[in-house]
Chain A
Amino acid sequence: MAEFKQADSLYEWFDQRLGIDKFVKVMMTEYWIPKNINFLWAMGVLLTVMFTLLVVSGIFLLMYYKPDVAAAFDSVNYTIMQEVGYGWLFRHIHAVGASVVFLIIYIHMFTGIYYGSYKKGREMIWISGMLLFVLFSAEGFSGYMLPWGQMSYWAAYVITEIFGGIPLVGGDLVVWIRGNFYVSDSTLTRFFMLHVLLIPLAIIGAIVVHFYALRFPHVNNEAGEFFDFDEEAEKYLAGDKKNSKVVPFWPVFLSKDFFVLGFFLLFFFYLVFFHYDFAMDPVNFDKADGLKTPAHIYPEWYFLWSYEVLRGFFFEIAGISGKSLGLIAFAIANAIFFVMPWLDRSPMVKPANQRPYFKYWFWFLIADLIVLTVYGKLPPTGANAWVGFASSMTFLVLFVALPFITKAEAKKVGGK
């Protein structure tokens, strides 16, 4: 225990006890970020802000929401929307926020893939990020159930039914997850708990791991250049800011981030105030009815690509039913991104457009995901079903081909 001398100021009093100076240095003023980056590097801060907005708007909704099949629908559509002062605002922030957070997650994720920010020491950043994607997906799904509209009910029905495809234990597992033989009050209350407590806690934990994972390999840069951060930091601290390749997180990096954030928030609140309807499916304004299936069930836009993979296999192949094939493909689609660092066999850390073969793979994948998303919303009949099948197969083939493509690339560029 160090000896404490009389503090000269309140700041010093706290600094003696909490080491504020040291903490601010480690977390902010001497946390080094590469200089050679662009606005795509602001997505992490945007996501942190979005998550905060979702938590805050969620807290306000939580005060009036009732997780009970008899009361849930009206507590949202009558109490919160009509009676609570600015209740509509918090609901629209929450609903639009849930949609936009996935838009930013996808941009963040594909920025990482484009610049190769998932390999050569950055594997844990990537894996913790993918874990966050899965957790946000679970959070989105459980939250969608809460207004207890027709889409809430049938999305819950269809997605929990998926677990029934697991061999041997499937049927029992579905009943266990729902707490009943069908989606019912017990299902609503347990998913309410998951949505407001367990998954948010897990998300906060995963965010901490994600940030911590950045500490040792450091943030990637536009050129994929590797350099000695300590050396560059010394240059910066010695006053040679111009030749140093790094800037401190605060105030330099964050000031630029806040500029991007400003634009983003204008866009976000434009949606909240003038275009919230895209996040409010009209079907979900009919109260849940277990005895009446809507004519056409589809998820929110951010799940469409994986939903399309799920139903892309509509016929039997080699004695395996279409349903099972769809489930297997769906499971692969949701897990395959985790192993990106090992599927990419090329040592190159460069933007995709500077990589001879990977660039084709990257843009092919983007195009395929767009096709999957568009067709995921359409009824799976006639030609649509075949487009769904072809694009689902393309998705799987792209990932099977990735190690070979990148291996060939490694050979071509000779270990660079």
Chain B
Amino acid sequence: MKDESRRGFIGKAFGAVAAVGGVASLIAMKKTWDPLPSVMTAGFTTVDVSALEANKLEIAVWRGKPIFILKYTEDMKPTDGRTVKVGDFHYSVMIGLCTHLGCIPAYRNDQKDFKCACHGGEFSADGVNKFGPPPRPLDLPPFKIDGNTLVLGEEGPEYKAMMAKAGGV
């Protein structure tokens, strides 16, 4: 009887040690698979938009995706819910992948629109699909405005307002 309880205690003690060790190693293993710090910092792309030239498309890369940043000229009309005002200028900030099959549309600055070479889809300057197979406007990346810089990857109030306008998509 005495032996039994002693063995039982040893068993329980070992179980407790093993459980702590097991949980600790699971945490370590989970963390090993986490994106590296360098990946996390690369998950945010900052662009100084004040220096951009109007009607000339700037393509930034954010999380492996092309991001279109287009500065509007005086005579281009901004679209509520699709364009954003930074300083005195309006900008389109969009994920540059055609919503049909993911090709990258090209900007035609004489016509002020986007044309996708793959299947002929066309988008206006604010990214709204106007011709061809694309089912919806170009997607918007999460962004935050910080003075004259655009931080891609963070959700700022302007982005949230645009999302709310688009129906919370």
Contact = CB atoms under 8 A, between A and B. Distances in A.
With a 10 A CB-CB cut-off, give which of A178, A180, A292 has the most chain B CB atoms: A180
Interface string A179-204: 11111101000100000000000000
Contact of B34 (A176, A183, A293): A176
Contacts of B30: 176
Nearest to B153: A181
B104 to A, nearest CB: 6
Q: Chain B contact residues: over half helix, strand or loop, or mixed?
A: loop
With a 10 A CB-CB cut-off, give which of B33, B97, B104 has the most chain A CB atoms: B33
Nearest to B98: A293
Nearest to A175: B35
Given A181-B64, A182-B65, A295 B101 contact: yes
A288 B47 CA distance: 27
A383 interface: no
Q: Chain A contact residues: over half helix, strand or loop, or mixed?
A: loop
Contacts of A176: 30, 33-35
A206 to B, nearest CB: 21
A290 interface: yes
B66 interface: yes
A161 B39 CA distance: 18
B103 A293 contact: yes
A152 to B, nearest CB: 15
B39 A186 contact: yes
B33 A179 contact: yes
A291 interface: yes
A295 B35 CA distance: 30
B12 interface: no
Nearest to B64: A182
A403 B104 CA distance: 51
Contacts of B43: 181
Contact of B63 (A182, A186, A190, A295): A182
B118 interface: yes
Contacts of B104: 291-292
Interface in B36-62: 36, 39, 43
Given A175-B35, A181-B35, 5 more contacts: A176-B30, A182-B65, A183-B64, A290-B64, A293-B101
